[in-house]
Structure 1
Amino acid sequence: MQTVSTDDGTVFVSEREGDTGSKAPFLVAYESRDCDRRYGWFCANCERIDNAMDSMGRIKCNQCGNFRKPTEWDAAHE
């Protein structure tokens, strides 16, 4: 696990858990080393935690624009 400093303290980034992004993977970040509580997503492209996720599971890095497509689709918008 990789450790990353944030404004809230230290988070632990799993290099085995994540999802594909447009530029690099988004990795799962945890509040503790034992992985019992998720903190958020870590952008492997710019190595930051500053990401946003919407209700459909779309993730976008606010720093570099790395993007994950939605995991859920609303057929009303097609």
Structure 2
Amino acid sequence: MALESATTERGESVFIDRSDAERGSEAPFYAVYSSKDSSNRWGYVCSNCESFDNAMDTMGKIECNNCGNIRKPEEWDAAHE
């Protein structure tokens, strides 16, 4: 697995795994790690706009705060509406 080094909007060095994707409504979200050995998951990058500014809720929904790309939750519970 080859990780791609990148720098976040805040200047943090992170590593993108483009082989670990979650389907989004516009484009995939790729896993991002804070270490090159991928031992510490940092978050996701939106491949639609290449933004690291994403939010994830407890149900697994990922939403890009920049372009609105969204990954629906794996499980859905009407009580969370």
Normalising by structure 1, we get a TM-score of: 0.90
| Deviation at residue 8 of structure 1 after TM alignment | 5.4
| Deviation at residue 62 of structure 1 after TM alignment | 0.3
RMSD: 1.6
Matches within 5 A, 1:2-41: 2-6=4-8, 7=10, 9-41=12-44
Task: Give every structure 1 segment of 4 or more consecutive aligned residues whose post-TM-superposition deviation is greater than 4 Å.
Answer: 75-78
Which structure 1 residue ranges, 5 or more long, are not aligned?
none
Equivalent residue, structure 2, for 1:70: 73
Query: Structure 2 vs 1, CA of residues 11 and 77 (structure 1 numbering), >3 Å: closer, same or farther?
Result: closer
Bigger strand share? 1
Normalising by structure 2, we get a TM-score of: 0.87
Which structure 2 residue ranges, 5 or more long, are not aligned?
none
